[in-house]
Structure 1
């Protein structure tokens, strides 16, 4: 366990390539399959990160960001 803070600054060599890869991975999938793919990616990447403190920060921030964008 690293206990490092969540990296929030730009950390990808090529964000456009990453976005294309993410988008392409969902092509041709129905909504259910797309949700399953997203869940699989989360589990694989969470296992790779392996630090629950960092994952807690990521989940909390993602939740805050979603709640800010949803109409009430």
Structure 2
């Protein structure tokens, strides 16, 4: 194993892969639940705080423009 520390994203992915090996039907259930209820982890997990802030800012600006035009 590398001497470097594992990032949180790498840790989450490693644990997810181990869970897939140990319980494939549990992973299916997780996928169904994510599709039904939504999951922002995939969207915001890899962006970091700057990317998340930009998305939120764009949503707020879009909402303001929408309200001004109606």
TM-score, normalised relative to structure 1: 0.37
- Higher relative CO (Cα under 8 Å, sequence separation at least 6) belongs to 1
TM-score, normalised relative to structure 2: 0.37
Q: Which has the higher helix share?
A: 2
Q: Report the structure number with the largest CA radius of gyration.
A: 2
